[in-house]
Structure 1
Amino acid sequence: MNGWFHSWRAAVRIARRDAWRSKGRSFLVLAMIALPILGVSAADLTLRSAELSPQERATRLLGAADARVSDPGYGGVPVQQSPDGQMTTPADKEYDTQPVPEGHIDVKKALPAGATLLEDTNGYGKLRTAHGLLHTGIRELKAADPLAEGILTPLDGRFPQRPDEVAASSRFLEESGLEIGGTLAARGLEREYRIVGSYEVPDDLRALQVNALPGAFLEPLRKGLEASGMAVPDISTEHLVKLPADGGHGFTWNMVQETNAKGAVVVSRAVLVDPPANADVPIFQREGYTPFDQSLSADKSALVAVATVVGLAMLEICLLAGPAFAVGARRSRRQLGLVGANGGDRRHIRAIVLAGGLVIGVAAAVVGTVLGLILTFVLQPVLEDSFGQRFGAFDVRPLELLGIGALAVLTGLLAAVVPAVTASRETVLASLTGRRGIRRSNRVLPVIGLVAALLGASIALYGSVFSDQFVIVAGGSALAELGVVAMTPALVGMFGRVGRWLPLSPRLALRDSVRNRGRTAPAVAAVLAAVAGTVAVATYATSEDAQLRAKYEAQLPYGAVSALTVEDGGRDVPAIREAVQRHVPVEVRADVARIAVGRAGCGPFSAEAGCGRSEVVIPKANECPLWAESAPPGTDPAERFSKEERRRLADDWRCRPGGGGYVPTVDGLLVADAALLKVLGVDDPAAEKALAEGRVVSFHKKQVDAAGRISLRVVTDAKAADEAVERNEPVPGEVKALPAYQVPDGTASYGVAGVLTPAAAEAAGLGTVPMGSYYSTDHLPGSEQRQRLDDDLAKVGSEVHLHVETGYDSENSIVLLALTVFAGLITIGAAGIATGLAQADAEADLKTLAAVGAPPRVRRTLSGFQCGVVAVMGVLLGTAAGVLPAIGLRLTERRQQERWYQEGRDAGWAGVADLPHVPIVIPWETFGALLVAVPLGAALLAALLTRSRTAVARRTAA
């Protein structure tokens, strides 16, 4: 035991001195191991700090209160809730099949006697800013009250103390152009408020919000909007509750359930900090209310994902750092030979090289962890702004950081294993004289690698074709990649056969790489590992991008613009049209209106007194049998049709869903002329002729009956109609039949169900209200044009539905570019290691070249080609290895979606008539960049960093 300790102590001392003597090489290896440790430790610190403790979450939600009580709007019937109050339902299960009662209660009566209450009311309004109007949240909370401390964080100034004062969130002040000390007003409200301070919402730093005293803003705003005939926003009120000083242990779970019995919902500090067991929560015992985050499968999937990422990261670091330790072992051959000459055996040689990995690993662990701490602390404000919320306390967990540091030490030791074994096998004579002797290639390892590659590919193929478990695909792909890594020495030898067709310098570089496979193979394997991961992600991302592009439903033709409003009876439509004409390169403008029923100012979805609507009546013959209105209420298609019938009906044109797009009306009908058809890209002379003849142009086949007419129901009382629908009774209203023309199937309508001219609407006795316009453009409006247009529309009193069709916008291009750059850096680093080792090994060859008259630039050229050769071989092998897991994953997803598709057809669901499109797309551009740009960059960088002249060598001591 004592001898073992002293031998390892000596080995560590020798390794430490050698590392200090070769600072450049040591720094390179240390950086390779420390950078991932830095990233992992920084991620751990960031996630732990961002993850709020139960007490911190309670403070941000409740301030200093014991609980927050709200009315769920169930009319006072007993309720059940989750401990955090996110899930609520009436306690009586009869409401699972019956309509839930509506109504409100006085929550004060549901609370214990002597409790202190503080109102917290939330609503929205359009506030006037320096630019126009801004849709903003309005919070009425006495934020200066000690009970609310922690909910809002003051930044500058103070919270309001008078009814005519407000404080504003910093984001609101930034967006609105207003400042502390200025005034603020709202649309529909005559009075003004003085801004006395700024604050932030810790859980939502991007919140556009103003804070006022209870009753000072929202109630006057509601009255003003009602008086002006404008829509009134929803307002919700909750109460912060502080129990008396003798309240015991706070608002306990038993007290929460007692309050639930009185019809109120409670979020309690005591329950958030110490939640009850799931078995003690009644709502969790009901079907469909089990929280997913407690699922074992979710934890298992997360654990598998983390283990896979960590394993691949360790493999890649070992492959990258292994050649560097081989460099150190080769440069220390004489020193290791002296150890053998003085009685040291192979285990001492292995111990010295392994100690080098231990020393570098410990240093990397310390440096990476310390830098991770510093980086996380410095970047915390930036990360908080990026995440949109403030972190909790700076959470340092020593055990987790020690585990991450141990990972660095283990990685350093694993990276030094192969160089240690190789160094220990050299004879003392060869180490002292520098002779290499005859080296034979290992014939067993390539065979094992080939078997592993074939077996892994078979497993991945099985997982993608016959199983839905991606873990099988990932495991098989990893095994196949390790097999390719094991075959790398043999594959490097095969690459050497192309050298006969190359010029002198690349031929020398390739032959040198083949002759010294011990240093070339690990570097190629490192490049392979880096490129394989990049290729796998790039292939999957490109394929998914193609799938999303195919699924994308354009709202309008490319470059077209729509600006619509349904407020205030179209009063602001002229101003909206003028703003669009001023900032958009308009080619064709199509003015549209909507059918209006009832008093002026009613919106298309309004259910207020005096308001009505129009709706298209689907003929009975055109109703989908699966979901026909005449079907018994509450019955499932599976109860009325067999599986074969449901499959057949899923393909029926009557059951196919409508196209994409959005028109803010109930029936999708627009009142317009032929210009709208031109903007929508409908090239159909028959449709233009039908409009001129006064017929309705229909885009939905289901709307037109056998006689070629569209039936339009005019509902004068929308509220009564809604009540009739709930009672499953006929909807009251006059039905008008209008002649129609059905456009050919497949014509894109972008949400428009039909078009009729103003003259046809007038002839049918239908009132109309201006709604806005559709525009085709000469070219897509730029960013500055959009900003100026948004600024002008913000000054319009009505809410405007603005859409500019820019087409499918892929975010994967940035991802692919980042992956390519990452792979390039890894490739250049790995190839650089191989180049450094090549220069150490080929020093004698370079001196021989210089002695026979080779120009000085040969050293630089040879160094560049050595680096480029390693990069090319690694990129080619990595590309082949990386495509496999991506294809396997896509095939697995294809099978899964096809199974869902078949299940949907069996159930007769709407919208499943088309077979899911899950393509496999190879990113040839990324492959080209990796194959051409990366090796070329690596070669040029190596050539530039290599001296073209070498110093005169001194005679090696015998």
Structure 2
Amino acid sequence: MTNWFHSWRAAVRIARRDAWRYKGRSFLVLAMIALPILGVSAADLTLRSSELSTEESLARSLGAADARLTESGYGSVPVFQDPTGGTSAPAAEDDDKPFPDGGTDVTKAIPAGASVLTDSTGTAKLTTEYGLLQTEVRELKADDPMARGMLTLLDGRFPQKADEVAVTEHFLETSGLRVGSSVTARGFERTYRITGVYELPGELTTDQVNALPGAFLGAYKKAADKAGLQRPNVSTTHLLKLSGGFTWNMVKEANTKGVVVVSRAVALDPPARSEIPLYQKEGWDPYEESPGARAAALAAVGTVVGLAMLEICLLAGPAFAVGARRSRRQLGLVGANGGDRRHIRAIVLSGGLVIGAAAAVVGTALGLILTYALRPVLEDYIGRRFGSFDIRPLELLGIALLAVLTGLFAAIVPAITSSRQSVLASLTGRRGVRRSNRVLPLVGLGAVLLGAAIALYGSVISDQFVVVAGGSAIAELGVVAMTPALVGMFGRTGRWLPLSPRLALRDAVRNRGRTAPAVAAVLAAVAGTVAVATYGASEEAQRRAEYRASLPHGAVSAFIEEDGGRDVPAVRDAVQRLLPIDLRADVDRVSVGRTGCSVYSRGSGCGLYELVIPKAHECPLWISTEENPDPLAKLSPEEIRKLSKDWRCKESDDNGVYVEGGLLIGDAKVLKVLGIKDAAAEQALAAGKLVTFTKPPVDTTGKVGIRLITDPDKADEARMKGTEPPGKVVSLPAHLATGEPRTYGVKALLTPAAAKAAGLTTVPYGALFSTDRMPGSEQRQKLDAELARLGSGVQLHVEEGYVSENGIVLLALTVFAGLVTIGAAGIATGLAQADAEADLKTLSAVGAPPRVRRTLSGFQCGVVAAMGVVLGSAAGVLPAMGLRLTEGRERQRWYEEALAQGFGDGGPAPYVPIVIPWATLATLLIVVPTGAAVLAALVTRSRGALARRAAT
């Protein structure tokens, strides 16, 4: 035991001295190992610090209060909830019985003796330096002790008067205002003065203003009704402070009144699962990560960590090998003085241990320092403040051990190789005759065949992505194992090359111990890039084929769905002024109820309309009654498939802009912008007829009915019973367009004059535009600025056709692979120069010009990069093809199952192409090796340092 300790202690001292002597090589290996450790440790610290404890989370949601009471959203019916208050459900569900109208009186659930603080939120468009900004308005007495921790004051003070507000820092940055500025809401005469700036610790990017309770939202809602604007939706919760806290029994009592509670006491000490009624409810299955999912996640993390360690070992291994060769005389002296092979191995392994330990310390320390220093930047990027700076010593120790293990693994092969060298060869500097390993290539070939078979099985038979990925990984490791033999095969091409590349290739083949790992590292990086690029290019081709334009190419739509369209004229003019407009078609929409209602408003005086489908034209698949609530249940798959092809049931796949009810109010210019050439339709519009592009709404008399629904809730109840929804029906003479033209979401078109004659109320909706050329980026930016100044919620769309989203991704992947390739090739070249210094001096001695040194260095780097890129490109296509084949078979199976069950109308089969990214491959195959060679040649000195004559 003592001998073992002393021998390893001596080995570590020798390794530490050598590492300090050869600082350049040591720093290179240390940096390669420390950088991933820095990244992982910083990620661990960031993740742990961003995870809030229960106390920290409660401080942000409850402040210093004991509970928050909120309406359940199900009316006043009793509910069940989970201990956190994040999930709730009605205690007794009845699908045939709607929830009661009206909200829940939360005050009935407030215990006697509790202190109460209301917290109300709504939205309003507030004036800024640039126009209007949709902003969240919060009425909360922020300086109340109960609210401490919910809002963090940064400057000034919270409001103390009814005409004062505090604002978030993000609102100030967005609005251009400052403390002391005045702000008001659109259509609201009252002005408020900004007295302070605060932030929401969990939502740093929120635009919010804070006012005293009752100082803003109530008066603003009345002003909005008076001005015909959309009224804000206000939600109010109640914060409570009471002696003894809000217990679980009190929570269940509040649930009986339709109130959901977030309780501090319950969150800190949750009840047993058997005491939670929600979890005992039939059919309730709270989401929990399955053991299989956790195992798969751990396997994925382990795979990523393992591949990262393999990559580092492949890059660092040659450095240890060259270091061992540079120290072979010293190792020979160890053997000459009685040291055996295990002592030689211990010295080389100690080099990996020393550098790995140093990398662990440096990487972990830098991770701590950088994370702490960059914490504000990380918080701003994530959009929320961290909790405490959470350091988990055991996790950081585990990450640091990865560095030590990586250093040891990288030194294993050089240690074994050095220990096998004879003492005489080490002392004389002779390399001896080394035979290539014939077993390793055979093992690699077997792994390639096995991995390819597994990937083929996964893609053709099992349809499991995991099987394909696992088989591809095995095949790639097999290629890595075959790399030394493949490098030898590349060497046979040297006979056709000029002098410098021939020498570089011969040197790479002769010194496979440092060439093969560098080539394998390049191979692994390029294979991953090619796999992702191939999959991305294939998916890109699929999305391009599936893309459905929302408008004709170059057309523009600008719609405003709120406030009764009061800003529509200004938006129409702005678009026409700033974009290259060829034709403008103004459109309106039908409005039911108050003119200030938005498209999505329901209730509170806001209604809707629909095109009436005659009974004879209703699709049997969609007709549900009280006697037959599920018509599909009584039909066979063959009957469903047959009916799905019926014209009454055939749904249009015509993608387009959203049009409420499918009816637009406009003239014949709409047809021209949409590219519909139908003279009969233009004549019908001129005659005051409604032009419809779908057949079901047209009845036997050639008319189309428009039902005006003033009470949407009653209409829903009638549909559930299978009866006609209540509402006035306006019948208009109709013209059915022929040829089923592409209408981009427009089902019907009616002129403003015809709508007025029929008694329909309309409001401005927006416009459709055709352009004489595609709008440029500068024009779009000017338009966006103009629309932002107007402050309206404009739904703007410019149809540019399919726009690739993978271009920047493929470029980033190519750059990444290029950097790794150049880095690995550069490392191999630097080690080659250090290892072959004697050969270079021999070249100079026999009369080789100085540029040969630079040229040889460039070709050495280029040869390594070229071999790795060629092998990696071949290895990377396999997993991508396997994944695409698997995805294609899976989608085909879904398609066939849908047809077998009667769904679908026999449309086109799934299209899952396999596309090779030739541009990316060409960049990797040509540009990367060439760039690596040129860079290596530029940074290499033409003349080496003079050396002393070796002692004989």
Determine if the alignment matches structure 1 residue 118 to structure 2 residue 96.
no
Alignment counterpart, residue 590 of structure 2, candidates 577, 583, 595: 595
In the alignment, the residues of structure 2 paired with residue 442 and residue 651 of structure 1 have an alpha-carbon distance, to the nearest angstrom, of 66
Q: Secondary structure at the match of 2:331?
A: helix
Match of 2:172 in 1: 173
Unpaired stretches in structure 1, ≥5 consecutive residues:
none
Q: 1:542 is aligned with what amino acid?
A: A
Q: 2:218 is aligned with what amino acid?
A: E
Alignment counterpart, residue 373 of structure 2, candidates 378, 386, 389: 378
Q: Secondary structure at the match of 1:77?
A: coil
Query: Is residue 505–residue 863 contact of structure 2 (8 Å, CA) maintained in 1?
Result: yes
Match of 2:862 in 1: 868
* Pair 439,902 (structure 1): closer, same or farther in 2 beyond 3 Å: same
How far apart are residue 313 of structure 1 and its match?
0.6
Query: Is residue 51–residue 391 contact of structure 1 (8 Å, CA) maintained in 2?
Result: yes
Match of 1:100 in 2: 99
Q: Secondary structure at the match of 2:358?
A: helix
Determine if the alignment matches structure 1 residue 75 to structure 2 residue 70.
no
How far apart are residue 324 of structure 1 and its match?
1.0
Match of 2:90 in 1: 90
* Pair 292,923 (structure 1): closer, same or farther in 2 beyond 3 Å: farther
Alignment counterpart, residue 950 of structure 1, candidates 917, 937, 944: 944
How far apart are residue 490 of structure 1 and its match?
1.1
Match of 1:44 in 2: 44
* Pair 621,489 (structure 1): closer, same or farther in 2 beyond 3 Å: farther
Determine if the alignment matches structure 1 residue 896 to structure 2 residue 890.
yes
Unpaired stretches in structure 2, ≥5 consecutive residues:
none
How far apart are residue 515 of structure 1 and its match?
2.0
How far apart are residue 557 of structure 1 and its match?
2.9
Match of 2:493 in 1: 498
* Pair 853,672 (structure 1): closer, same or farther in 2 beyond 3 Å: same
How far apart are residue 441 of structure 1 and its match?
1.5
How far apart are residue 556 of structure 1 and its match?
2.4
Q: 1:348 is aligned with what amino acid?
A: H
Q: Deviations along 1:664-710, whole A, 9 cap, x unmatched?
A: 65421112223222222334555445545555443334444677654
TM-score (ref. length: structure 2): 0.95
Determine if the alignment matches structure 1 residue 832 to structure 2 residue 831.
no
Q: 1:187 is aligned with what amino acid?
A: R
* Pair 482,908 (structure 1): closer, same or farther in 2 beyond 3 Å: same
Query: Is residue 558–residue 768 contact of structure 2 (8 Å, CA) maintained in 1?
Result: yes
- The number of equivalent residue pairs is 951
How far apart are residue 397 of structure 1 and its match?
0.2
Determine if the alignment matches structure 1 residue 817 to structure 2 residue 811.
yes
Match of 1:670 in 2: 664
Query: Is residue 141–residue 212 contact of structure 1 (8 Å, CA) maintained in 2?
Result: yes
Aligned positions of 1:178-197 closer than 5 A:
178-197=177-196
Q: 1:840 is aligned with what amino acid?
A: A
Alignment counterpart, residue 438 of structure 1, candidates 433, 438, 461: 433
Alignment counterpart, residue 623 of structure 2, candidates 607, 619, 628: 628
Query: Is residue 604–residue 664 contact of structure 1 (8 Å, CA) maintained in 2?
Result: no
Query: Is residue 570–residue 771 contact of structure 1 (8 Å, CA) maintained in 2?
Result: yes
Match of 1:845 in 2: 839
* Pair 311,955 (structure 1): closer, same or farther in 2 beyond 3 Å: same
* Pair 506,669 (structure 1): closer, same or farther in 2 beyond 3 Å: same
Match of 1:793 in 2: 787
How far apart are residue 435 of structure 1 and its match?
1.6
Mean CA deviation greater in 336-345 or 571-580: 571-580
TM-score (ref. length: structure 1): 0.94
Match of 1:9 in 2: 9
In the alignment, the residues of structure 1 paired with residue 937 and residue 787 of structure 2 have an alpha-carbon distance, to the nearest angstrom, of 58
Query: Is residue 626–residue 722 contact of structure 2 (8 Å, CA) maintained in 1?
Result: no
Match of 1:919 in 2: 913
Match of 2:27 in 1: 27
Query: Is residue 620–residue 631 contact of structure 2 (8 Å, CA) maintained in 1?
Result: no
* Pair 567,111 (structure 1): closer, same or farther in 2 beyond 3 Å: closer
Q: Deviations along 1:805-833, whole A, 9 cap, x unmatched?
A: 34444443332222222212211121122
Determine if the alignment matches structure 1 residue 387 to structure 2 residue 374.
no
Query: Is residue 904–residue 912 contact of structure 1 (8 Å, CA) maintained in 2?
Result: no
Alignment counterpart, residue 523 of structure 2, candidates 480, 505, 528: 528
In the alignment, the residues of structure 2 paired with residue 470 and residue 569 of structure 1 have an alpha-carbon distance, to the nearest angstrom, of 51
Mean CA deviation greater in 370-379 or 215-224: 370-379
Mean CA deviation greater in 813-822 or 230-239: 813-822
* Pair 862,603 (structure 1): closer, same or farther in 2 beyond 3 Å: closer
Match of 2:637 in 1: 643
Aligned positions of 1:173-252 closer than 5 A:
173-244=172-243, 247=244, 250-252=245-247
Determine if the alignment matches structure 1 residue 615 to structure 2 residue 615.
no
Query: Is residue 320–residue 526 contact of structure 1 (8 Å, CA) maintained in 2?
Result: yes
Match of 2:750 in 1: 756
Q: Secondary structure at the match of 1:801?
A: strand
Query: Is residue 524–residue 870 contact of structure 1 (8 Å, CA) maintained in 2?
Result: yes
Mean CA deviation greater in 46-55 or 512-521: 512-521
How far apart are residue 442 of structure 1 and its match?
1.3
In the alignment, the residues of structure 1 paired with residue 130 and residue 802 of structure 2 have an alpha-carbon distance, to the nearest angstrom, of 30
Q: 2:214 is aligned with what amino acid?
A: G
In the alignment, the residues of structure 2 paired with residue 323 and residue 500 of structure 1 have an alpha-carbon distance, to the nearest angstrom, of 27
Mean CA deviation greater in 614-623 or 812-821: 614-623
* Pair 569,92 (structure 1): closer, same or farther in 2 beyond 3 Å: closer
Determine if the alignment matches structure 1 residue 489 to structure 2 residue 488.
no
Q: Secondary structure at the match of 2:661?
A: coil
* Pair 751,17 (structure 1): closer, same or farther in 2 beyond 3 Å: same
* Pair 757,104 (structure 1): closer, same or farther in 2 beyond 3 Å: closer
Mean CA deviation greater in 534-543 or 710-719: 710-719
Q: Secondary structure at the match of 1:673?
A: coil
Match of 2:549 in 1: 554
Match of 1:725 in 2: 719
Q: Secondary structure at the match of 1:487?
A: helix
How much identity, in percent, do the aligned residues show? Answer: 67
Greater than 6 Å deviation, 4+ residue runs = none
Query: Is residue 465–residue 892 contact of structure 1 (8 Å, CA) maintained in 2?
Result: yes
Q: 1:751 is aligned with what amino acid?
A: G
Q: 2:424 is aligned with what amino acid?
A: L
Q: Secondary structure at the match of 1:437?
A: coil
Match of 1:453 in 2: 448
In the alignment, the residues of structure 2 paired with residue 796 and residue 833 of structure 1 have an alpha-carbon distance, to the nearest angstrom, of 58
Query: Is residue 562–residue 599 contact of structure 2 (8 Å, CA) maintained in 1?
Result: no
* CA RMSD, Structure 1 to Structure 2 (Å): 2.6
In the alignment, the residues of structure 2 paired with residue 251 and residue 765 of structure 1 have an alpha-carbon distance, to the nearest angstrom, of 57
Q: 1:895 is aligned with what amino acid?
A: R
Alignment counterpart, residue 777 of structure 1, candidates 764, 771, 783: 771
Match of 1:155 in 2: 154
Q: Secondary structure at the match of 1:292?
A: coil
* Pair 280,656 (structure 1): closer, same or farther in 2 beyond 3 Å: farther
In the alignment, the residues of structure 1 paired with residue 212 and residue 604 of structure 2 have an alpha-carbon distance, to the nearest angstrom, of 32
How far apart are residue 291 of structure 1 and its match?
3.2
